[in-house]
Chain A
Amino acid sequence: NAGVTQTPKFQVLKTGQSMTLQCAQDMNHEYMSWYRQDPGMGLRLIHYSVGAGITDQGEVPNGYNVSRSTTEDFPLRLLSAAPSQTSVYFCASRTGSSGNTIYFGEGSWLTVV
């Protein structure tokens, strides 16, 4: 099983550039989410989706957009990259019950210079 697949794994951007982090899951999970993880800050929720066509903001949504046109895909767009967006980004998915396991992608290391 592929599980949750994220691309790219590493990316360097210049300030002001835009890019999209791709995330796909093959487990037919309703819930998908994007987190960023910074030293000393833990995992912080950026955006999440409870199903195709439905997205909502998390704790730190500014500077990011998402869409959920299919159950499988949940891309994260950086609109105009800033050095403060240098971080590790994790995509995650789970079934509808929040008592169930959360599956993470392998992470995307993003550096904005």
Chain B
Amino acid sequence: RKEVEQDPGPFNVPEGATVAFNCTYSNSASQSFFWYRQDCRKEPKLLMSVYSSGNEDGRFTAQLNRASQYISLLIRDSKLSDSATYLCVVNSRNRDDKIIFGKGTRLHILP
């Protein structure tokens, strides 16, 4: 099983729709979880951290399920500007403090 797995997509979603991505991780000792956004030909940037209780930032909601070892990102009322690749990031906080990036899920918002 890969350390961090994401559906590569692309997800083609009409503007205004709700879209959700999942990301699974294999290391049960993982402690910190994030979603990064990467626009075409740009660097990744932090979208939001993912907390155990779930957290929301405007139209974006992130959730963590430790029992099933996955995190999710929900985007409501999607905008054209949401078109990007979304990277799932997980770290173990063990001795090697390893950070693992998923390969990303591509999202295309259609007008």
Contact = CB atoms under 8 A, between A and B. Distances in A.
Q: Say whether chain B's binding surface is mostly helix, strand, loop, or mixed.
A: loop
Contacts of B42: 106-107
Interface residues of A, number: 14
Contacts, number: 41
Contact of A42 (B32, B97, B103): B103
B44 A43 contact: yes
Nearest to B46: A101
Interface of A: 35, 40-43, 90, 98-99, 101-102, 104-107
Given A42-B101, A42-B102, A42-B103, A102 B32 contact: no
Q: Say whether chain A's binding surface is mostly helix, strand, loop, or mixed.
A: loop
9 contacts: A42-B104, A43-B44, A43-B101, A98-B98, A99-B31, A102-B44, A102-B99, A106-B42, A107-B42
